[in-house]
Amino acid sequence: MVARIVTGKSIKGAVNYNEEKVRKGLATLIGAQGYTASPEHLSFKGRLLRLERLAAGNSRAKTNCVHISLNFEPTEKLSDEKMTQIAETYMQGIGLGTQPFLVYRHTDAGHPHVHIVTTNIQSDGQRISLHNIGKEKSEPIRKEMEQRFGLILGRP
């Protein structure tokens, strides 16, 4: 498994990117953690507003969007349920597991992968630090998850 983390300041842009893939039939929303409805019962507006409201709680934060892709080897056969479980485990491991997040399964490449969209702004307005998140949190949990879920080893 290879994890890629992109941070920015446009939650709407990250959600729109994934929703456009859904509209084109190249992605499916398979998970919505921290939402009051299941993924299939969330409107686009409902998906977006939850994250935007949290991000608005800290107007000083320059970075308030986290867009992650978890990429698997082309031969991996992963169900939506397993991909959602992997996404949830990964988010816990990098310290964002209590944040609301959306999990999209993409089918637009030659390998299975999911995109996860969240914010690093908590309900109290405090920012979750993303400093060195790749090296200090993502790499250790990625390696642990490859073992735990029996995934083909990825490259860092």
The DSSP element (H or E) to which 3 belongs, if any, is strand 2-8
What does the alpha-carbon distance between residue 61 and residue 9 come to, in Å, rounded to a whole number?
A: 9
pLDDT tens sequence across 30-80: 999 999 888 889 899 999 999 999 999 999 998 999 999 999 999 999 999
pLDDT at 156 over 80: no
From residue 27, how far is each of 63, 68, 92, 108 by CA, in Å? 26, 15, 23, 7
Supply the angle between the helices 80-93 and 139-148 in degrees, to the nearest 10. 140
Give the HSE-up count for residue 67: Cα atoms under 13 Å, Cβ half-sphere: 15
What does the alpha-carbon distance between residue 83 and residue 70 come to, in Å, rounded to a whole number?
A: 9
Supply the angle between the helices 44-55 and 11-23 in degrees, to the nearest 10. 160
pLDDT tens sequence across 72-89: 999 999 999 999 999 999
Please give the average per-residue pLDDT across 85-96, as a whole number. 97
Q: What is the pTM of this model?
A: 0.95
Domains of the chain (ranges, CATH numbers): 2-148 (3.30.930.30)
Distance of CA 33 to the CA centre of its chain: 10
